[in-house]
Amino acid sequence: MPWQEPSYENVEFPHSTPYDSYNLTFATVMLQIVAASAGVVLMHARTDCLFHLGAILLVMWISEAALVVQYILQFLRIKDYGLTVAISLGCLHGVGFGHQKTFIFNCMLDIELVLAIDLGTRKAARMLLVDALLSILAVTAAAAQRLRADMGLHWPDSVRKLSSMVCWAYLCASLTFAFQSFEVMGRVLRLSEDTTARLAHEAKSRSQLWFQNGDPEIRATFHKLRKHRRHVLTLSAIRLLVFGHIMLFGGFLWPLPADLSAQVTDSLGGGFAGYLMTDSVLITTLYYLYLIFIVWYVYGGLSSLVGIHARFQEEEMRLAKRAHQQARFSSSSDPRWQAQVQDLACRAITVEVLLDFYHGLGRDYMRGFNPDRHTTSDVVRQAIIPLSASVGSDMAGILMQGQRMLPEAMVSHTWRGRFRDLVAAVVADGLGEQEYGRIGNLLDSDVDLIKHWISRGCGLQRTYWICAFCVNQHKSICSPTVPQTDSVTGALVPPCGCGCPKFLNTDAPCREDGSSIQCEMKLCRFLVICM
């Protein structure tokens, strides 16, 4: 016997019920809320994460708009032949896919990249693809059911069974992905806690105070990870509940009865309780509200927008200032001056050679190097100048083996600061980090791990201009008239015996304005504008 639904009202989106006005009100209110949220995020998004969140909110808005149109058409007794069902339900699936991709899969990718461990992202990517394909089939089945009802067609029972197989497969795939993501988050937490405990023990054994009372930032990080896992699990559970509810009361889950919605409503007396039990608009609204709560509160969407917008404005001002300086810059009429500026600008070093140089401190040269106390000035006097004295050139040329290239960034720093902080700041920039404190601690224990991290992001060959390395110290400061001392031990630093001529601000040869052409310290101001 061909399968026939008992009545038109038994499809997921009924033609008319006493509570359709409630659904229209809910959908209209949500349409305004989602529209405002999506507009604010998309207008101020500057990062990939915020663009993804904005896209989710935009798809959510389209879903609510289609739902509003659907109910208006029902009130007007106009058939849509499954179009609004396909749009609203398809966008609902799109929102679910987006939250899995943004909050789970992208998080797994980032953690896998940082920790350099396999978290099963390839398997997760395949599961996401299967999820997307099954979503398309499930939406197609729902739209086809509405089209069948609108056109008065009758399909064999095998069509419903085939649709049910797709829906069951979709629910199973979503459930599997949710369990896998929860297990991955738990694994990351266990690994992080074990590593922190090991580092705390090692730090205490070296009489360091960093971990002794428990690092508050690490505790905060663990709290965020646990909160993220909790909200990911909640989102996944609500998503499964929403789609399970739609499929269950839409008659898609064979061998359950196709008219289950009507049976439940009748058993509850056909009143408001039956509406609350069988209508999927309410539970979908709760899902959307919770997702908006996640975006704005849990993941700091509002504070992120404010902070990113402020940094974006600062960057725009910086670029405008640089463009103004470049517009005012003109090549010197003296070709010797211009050649010196161009030569100085091409003395960049890579992150890799900087790390290699740092790794040799205290081992191959400057044997008394103390990373916790020695400054950049100490390293220049006791390592850079002695290592480059035999050739009387800048250290960048020696480290880069004569290779000259323009830098991707210019580092502004103080020579009175710790040299380790300078190196850590450069490494943090290469990694895309916002702070360098922990990298500084890791520099003294595992430089190879830092290299591995940066190499995964192709940052080892990123070039920087650092005056301590790129300026030829033998043309200026290597033999000061006042004896120099080690800032830690107080021991006298032997003067350099390179014998190279020194050029200060007004030493010949000079430009028309009296500026020394050979004084590289004088050239640094023009170098900033040139680069």
Same domain, 151 and 120: yes
- What confidence tens digit (pLDDT) does each residue in 441-475 have? 778 777 777 777 777 666 778 899 898 898 888 88
| pLDDT in the model for residue 3 | 40
Where does residue 103 rank: exposed (0-12), middle (13-18), buried (19+ CB within 10 A)?
A: buried
Domain-embedded: residue 4: no
| pLDDT in the model for residue 278 | 76
Chain length of the chain:
531
pLDDT of 357 > 90? The answer is yes
Structure tokens at 180: 């896998």
| pLDDT in the model for residue 114 | 65
Which helix (H) or strand (E) segment holds residue 169: the answer is helix 157-205
Same domain, 49 and 93: yes
Domain-embedded: residue 325: no
Question: Strand, coil or helix: what is 498?
Answer: coil
pLDDT, average across residues 63-78? 81
Same domain, 222 and 181: yes
Domain endpoint, select from 277, 312, 347: 312
Angle at alpha carbon of residue 424, lines to 422 and 429, rounded to 5°: 100
Contacts of 385 (CB under 8 A, 6+ apart): 473, 474, 478, 496
Give the C-alpha separation, 192 to 119, whole Å: 14
| pLDDT in the model for residue 165 | 86
Give the C-alpha separation, 498 to 385, whole Å: 9
Domain-embedded: residue 324: no
pLDDT, average across residues 390-417? 87
CB-CB contact of 187 with 119 (8 Å): yes
Same domain, 223 and 350: no
Domains in the chain, number: 2
Pairing, β 484-485 against β 492-493: antiparallel
Same domain, 308 and 347: no
Same domain, 251 and 105: yes
Same domain, 339 and 308: no
Contacts of 308 (CB under 8 A, 6+ apart): 44, 45, 46, 47, 50
Among 216-230, 231-245, 506-520, the range with the most confident prediction by mean pLDDT is: 231-245
Question: Strand, coil or helix: what is 78?
Answer: coil
Domain-embedded: residue 306: yes
Q: From the CA atom positions of the chain, what is the Rg in Å? A: 33
pLDDT band with cut points at 50, 70 and 90 for residue 423: very high
Contacts of 109 (CB under 8 A, 6+ apart): 121
| pLDDT in the model for residue 327 | 65
Please tell me what DSSP assigns to residue 472.
-
Type of residue numbered 414: T
Q: Which residues are paired to 361 by β-bridges?
A: 365
Same domain, 406 and 270: no
| pLDDT in the model for residue 1 | 37
Among 57, 182, 50, CA closest to 108: 182
Domain-embedded: residue 86: yes
Among 429, 524, 529, CA closest to 468: 524
Domain-embedded: residue 320: no
Q: Which residues are paired to 155 by β-bridges?
A: 3
Same domain, 302 and 422: no
Q: Which domain holds residue 448?
A: 335-530
Residue 278, CA atoms < 13 Å, CB-side half-sphere: 29
Beta strands in 286-438 (DSSP E): 349-350, 409-410
Type of residue numbered 282: L
pLDDT of 96 > 60? The answer is yes
Q: 482 or 420: which carries more pLDDT confidence?
A: 420
Q: 68 or 310: which carries more pLDDT confidence?
A: 68
For the entire predicted model, the pTM comes to 0.58
Residue 211, CA atoms < 13 Å, CB-side half-sphere: 17
pLDDT, average across residues 369-377? 91
Domain-embedded: residue 318: no
Neighbours of 34 (CB within 10 A): 25
Q: Which of 175-179, 197-201, 425-429, 462-466 is predicted least confidently?
A: 197-201
| pLDDT in the model for residue 4 | 39
pLDDT of 376 > 90? The answer is yes
pLDDT, average across residues 145-166? 77
Q: What whole-number percentage of the chain has pLDDT above 90?
A: 7
Same domain, 380 and 440: yes
Domain-embedded: residue 516: yes
| pLDDT in the model for residue 298 | 59
Contacts of 126 (CB under 8 A, 6+ apart): none
pLDDT band with cut points at 50, 70 and 90 for residue 375: very high
| pLDDT in the model for residue 354 | 92
Same domain, 414 and 268: no
| pLDDT in the model for residue 13 | 42
pLDDT of 79 > 60? The answer is yes
Same domain, 342 and 385: yes
Q: What is the mean pLDDT of the chain?
A: 76
**CATH number of the domain within which 257 lies:** 1.20.1070
| pLDDT in the model for residue 19 | 67
pLDDT of 133 > 80? The answer is yes
CB-CB contact of 391 with 398 (8 Å): yes
